[in-house]
Structure 1
Amino acid sequence: MIRIASPVLENGANGTLKKNMPVEGPEREKRIKVSHLEAVGRTLSGIAPWLELSGLQGDEALLQSNARQQARSTIISITDRNSPDFLPFDVGAQSLVDAALIALAILRAPQSLWLELPEANKKNIIEALLSSRKITPVFNNWLLFSAIIEALFCKAGITYDSMRIEYAFRQMLQWYVGDGHYSDGPVFHADYYNSYVIHPFLLATLNATSHTRKWNSLVPLQLKRSQRYCELLERSISPEGAMPAMGRSLSYRCGNLHALGDLALAGQLPSSLPPEQVRCAMTSVIKRTLGAENTFDKHGWLNIGFCGQQPSLAEFYITTGSLYWSTLAFLPLGISPESTFWSNPDVQFTSQKLYSGIDIPLDKADDE
């Protein structure tokens, strides 16, 4: 996690992100204005739980303290109009995605990324997030990006637009197709967006607005659906730590573990998935996708690819900043080191058990 995040945080804290971050991709010239915000929003939302974790000791505590300072300096810099790294949150539709990820990061680390900031800087962040309201979300998972920004305002006691939240919830309910999967728009897509966005953002939005009690009745239903989806996600991991290379945004690499890490972080994994089993499964994928040769360039920035450097995997919207979605696999680093997630011995995960000839309970579809 530190290896991935360091170039973003170090340059973000020093006001040199625009100067030093490479921007590569098939439509570089069209998307260069949003790539830096992508890198920041994705990095912060992935490392936020670890930034917020208390009680770390030794070298890790020193790393955490340094990262907290850099993260705060970065979020201050990108929302300060006088900074060389000022990043507008309303330049192109893509800005809405990463404005939402900034909101998600703050929800995951309110002490580190919000409460400890000076009031003037909080005001800058609010203005930046408000500016993204002019962007009309695409009619798919993007509805949740608008919703989570309003959920942050709700959580922070700021005037918010409840209709953006209500609309996202109502539409997602209509798009549920069964067995833990949402169609992500009117037509189902076989990709990882149920993990990249849908399940984690639905739960985060519900949690952030729970004090209003407006949508609390949806929580048990959504948790059940997320748990079923994560059962299937864990089963898709091969004994060697490979996952099916299907659908769009494969260059997010192990970011497709977002939903699984989110439930692990919350302590809400289904009973069928012991925490230590999820740890071993996720670790295998992280090593497989981020340990490949040429994953990083000579300056430590991520290269485009699913397993190494594979620029042909980049959709039109992919640039260097997009790749930092991979940090969302590191949410479990926000779990206490004393928890069973970390302290229990290694075990085989589902596919390893099955391909070793071990008899395990059968899988059963959710008949909801």
Structure 2
Amino acid sequence: MQDQPPKRRLFLGGLLAGSAALTAGLPLSALAAGTQASPPARQYLVKLLERIAEPVFSAMAEGKLKQTFELELSPTWDGRPKEVAYLECFGRLLSACAPWFALPDDDSAEGRSRKRLRQLALKSLAHAVDPASPDFLLWQGPPQVLVDSAYISSAMLRAPAALWEPLDAATRGRIVEVIKGIRSIESAHTNWLLFASMNEAFLLSVGEKYDPLRLTTGVRKMREWYVGDGWIKDGDTFHFDYYNAFVIYPMLVTVLQTMVRYKASYWGAAPADLLAQATRRMQRYSEHLERYISPTGTYPPIGRSITYRTAAFQPLAFLALHRLLPASLPEGQVRAALEAVHRAIWTPAGNFGKGGFLTIGFAGHQPTLGDWYSNTGSMYIAAESLITLGLPASDSYWTAPALDWTQKKAFANQPFPKDYHVDY
């Protein structure tokens, strides 16, 4: 990997200001043509996201999510209120869908489906914060609420024009109120600090009074916990798992992007410099992730929360969405590798229950793999690996020729790059 970041914008305004920047320079005719003739890899991922999202948004738009949701708890469930599952399900799914929802409307089959699901999601948001709704979510109580409130904030940051601006004033006010109210929940001294930072970043983005300490503490601790070669500890102890992918890098970079965009201060450093550093480290970590992918798309089921499935590859999708992939990871190579991963995980039977909701498992229904905090709502973080759908079908990510990824080359007697540690 090059010592310098690629000559691409380290901050992509489209993530925070809707789809305009994501589609900058593309004529509307090109966008329409691209969505009408979606490449096969995109078609597959769109259908996957639709399958994951449809049961949730269609039920919640009518205030019937709690009534119909297929709730399953891990066999080692720790006894926390099971109602946390609904916020987990909705928040994580909304965050994952947000980049796709931010694309402009068009009359293709995908465009019509996207518009319908986005409208259902907006209705669901209103239910989520309306105390009179049967689907009013749990916004106070167990610490888990802090975690999944941050995914609502993530969705608002990713697609404000699609998910924030269309809301009525009452719903917007309620969202701000519940996010501020979550400040009363103490954060664990782990990656959880980033959930508080995400909430403050959202408040900053909509012009609300934010807490600078909560905003920056998550960033400071991730910098302190950096151990080298792209890896960040999750607290005081190093964990060999996918939490750098599940939470740490996507949220760290998003918070810094927001700070740069809205000119928030950071004592002792410039947010733009921190963003550049975090991006380079995320790129390095993503080189590791890409090398985990076997020639058939399988990857090591290591560490905590392996039931989060393909969320393990969110950083690769994030960098692709933001057009920040390093030169060592060409778009066609990343797209082909991620398609193989999704097919390996989602093809086996059992990933979806009878009502279409996700089950606890890794590649199928494997409830004993659940951790003490796992429920079927938790599983919706898996959709975070689908955020590349926020790139229009005409984007080079989808149209670039498919390339073999590292392990596919390695086990086919093809040349492939050697790998060395970095010191940034």
Query: TM-score normalised to the size of structure 1?
Result: 0.98
Match of 1:123 in 2: 173
Match of 2:214 in 1: 164
Match of 1:322 in 2: 378
Deviation (angstroms), 1:162 = 0.6
Deviation (angstroms), 1:28 = 8.0
Distance of 1:79 and 1:303 partners within structure 2: 26
Whether the 8 Å contact between 1:28 and 1:319 is mirrored in structure 2 is no
Whether the 8 Å contact between 2:334 and 2:405 is mirrored in structure 1 is yes
Whether the 8 Å contact between 1:34 and 1:91 is mirrored in structure 2 is no
Distance of 1:136 and 1:147 partners within structure 2: 13
Match of 1:139 in 2: 189
**Residue correspondence of structure 1 range 182-331 to structure 2 within 5 A:** 182-210=232-260, 211-214=262-265, 215-331=271-387
Distance of 1:318 and 1:73 partners within structure 2: 27
Unaligned runs of 5+ in 2: 1-48, 266-270
Deviation (angstroms), 1:313 = 0.4
Between the aligned residues of both structures, percent identity stands at 38
Whether the 8 Å contact between 1:88 and 1:128 is mirrored in structure 2 is no
1:109-164 Cα offsets, whole Å, 9 max, x none, are 10111011111110011111111111111111000000010001111111000101
1:32-79 Cα offsets, whole Å, 9 max, x none, are 110000000010011110000125441001101101101101111110
Whether the 8 Å contact between 1:235 and 1:351 is mirrored in structure 2 is yes
Deviation (angstroms), 1:175 = 0.2
Deviation (angstroms), 1:294 = 1.1
Aligned-residue CA RMSD (Å): 1.2
Report the more deviating stretch, 121-130 or 52-61.
52-61
Distance change in 2, residues 1:172/1:266 (3 Å)? same
Match of 2:62 among 14, 17, 20: 14
Distance of 2:167 and 2:78 partners within structure 1: 33
Whether 1:107 and 2:157 are equivalent positions in the alignment is yes
Unaligned runs of 5+ in 1: none
Distance change in 2, residues 1:55/1:112 (3 Å)? closer
Distance change in 2, residues 1:28/1:57 (3 Å)? farther
1:282-333 Cα offsets, whole Å, 9 max, x none, are 1111111111111111111111100111111000100010010111010000
Give the 3-state SS of the residue equivalent to 1:177 in structure 2: strand
Amino acid of the structure 1 residue aligned with 2:334? V
Deviation (angstroms), 1:347 = 1.6
Whether the 8 Å contact between 2:320 and 2:388 is mirrored in structure 1 is yes
Distance of 1:207 and 1:323 partners within structure 2: 27
Distance change in 2, residues 1:285/1:136 (3 Å)? same
Deviation (angstroms), 1:88 = 2.5
1:204-253 Cα offsets, whole Å, 9 max, x none, are 10111212152222011001000000111111111110111100001111
Q: How many residues align?
A: 368
Give the 3-state SS of the residue equivalent to 1:216 in structure 2: helix
Deviation (angstroms), 1:353 = 1.0
Amino acid of the structure 1 residue aligned with 2:322? A
Distance of 1:12 and 1:358 partners within structure 2: 50
Distance of 2:406 and 2:103 partners within structure 1: 29
Deviation (angstroms), 1:360 = 2.1
Whether 1:94 and 2:144 are equivalent positions in the alignment is yes
Distance of 2:272 and 2:213 partners within structure 1: 16
Distance of 1:201 and 1:67 partners within structure 2: 25
Match of 1:149 among 195, 199, 202: 199
Give the 3-state SS of the residue equivalent to 1:357 in structure 2: coil
**Residue correspondence of structure 1 range 77-92 to structure 2 within 5 A:** 77-92=127-142
Distance of 1:134 and 1:255 partners within structure 2: 29
Give the 3-state SS of the residue equivalent to 1:320 in structure 2: coil
Distance of 2:83 and 2:102 partners within structure 1: 30
Distance change in 2, residues 1:325/1:222 (3 Å)? same
Match of 2:9 in 1: none
